[in-house]
Amino acid sequence: MASNPSSSLAGLVLLASRIVCLIVIASFVVFVVDRTGSASTHQQNALTGNTSQPSESSSSTTAKESSLHRTLDEASNALTSPFAGVVSGTDSEWVIRLVRTALALLVYGLGVAFLVRIIRIRT
- 105 neighbors 21 (Cβ within 8 angstroms): yes
pLDDT, one tens digit for every residue, the chain (123 residues): 446 767 788 889 999 999 999 999 999 999 999 888 877 776 777 777 776 555 544 544 554 568 888 999 999 999 999 999 999 999 999 999 999 999 999 999 999 999 998 888 887
pLDDT at 51: 63
pLDDT at 7: 78
pLDDT at 20: 96
pLDDT at 61: 53
How far is residue 70's CA from residue 51's CA, in Å, rounded to a whole number?
Answer: 30
Q: Which residue ranges make up each domain of the chain?
A: 5-46+68-122
pLDDT at 50: 73
Kindly report the number of other CB atoms within 10 A of residue 10's CB atom.
20
pLDDT at 56: 47
pLDDT at 28: 96
**Burial track 44-57 (b if 16+ CB lie within 10 A, e otherwise):** eeeeeeeeeeeeee
Q: What is the CA radius of gyration of the chain?
A: 20
Q: Taking the chain, what is the end-to-end CA distance rounded to the nearest angstrom? A: 16
How far is residue 45's CA from residue 40's CA, in Å, rounded to a whole number?
Answer: 9
pLDDT at 66: 83
